[in-house]
Amino acid sequence: MKQLIYITGIKTYSFHGCLAEESRIGGHYQVDIKLETDFSQAALNDDLIETIDYVVVNQIVELEMAIPSKLIEHVGLRIYNTIKSTFITCNKLEVLIRKISPPINGDVDEVAIALSDFN
C-alpha cells in the first residue's frame, strides 16, 4: 500500500525574483509538499516519532522561503534537499512552489515550479 503525506497551501510572503522591486517589495507564494514514506508503524502505534513531522516540514519551507533568491527554482531545490536530508524515511518527494500574481507584463494568476520523484 502506498502511503502519502500532503502538506499543502503553505503561505509565505517572500522576496524572490530577478527584478529589483521583487527583492524590495516581495510577493505572495504558496508551497505544496507531497511525501511518500512508510508510516504503517505510526498508524499502528499512534506515535509521531514513527512518521514525518508536519511541523518540521513547514518550518523547513518557511526557513528556506525566507532566504531571498532570484529564482524559485533555486528555492525549490533547497527545500527539496533539506527535506530529503532531514527525513531519511522519505522515499519520494514533490515540492511545488507557486508565485502568486507574478510581475511578468501580463494578466497571470501564478507561475509555478515543481521538483518531483513521482512519475
Residue 99, CB half-sphere, CA atoms under 13 Å: how many?
Answer: 23
Burial class of 62 by CB neighbour count within 10 A (0 to 12, 13 to 18, 19+): middle
Choosing from 34, 84, 92, 99, the catalytic residue is 99
Kindly report the number of other CB atoms within 10 A of residue 13's CB atom.
11
Phi, psi of 35 (to 5 degrees): -125, 140
- Residue 9 DSSP SS3: strand
- Can you tell me the distance from the alpha carbon of 115 to that of 49, in angstroms, rounded to the nearest whole number? 26
2 is catalytic: no
The catalytic residue positions are 99
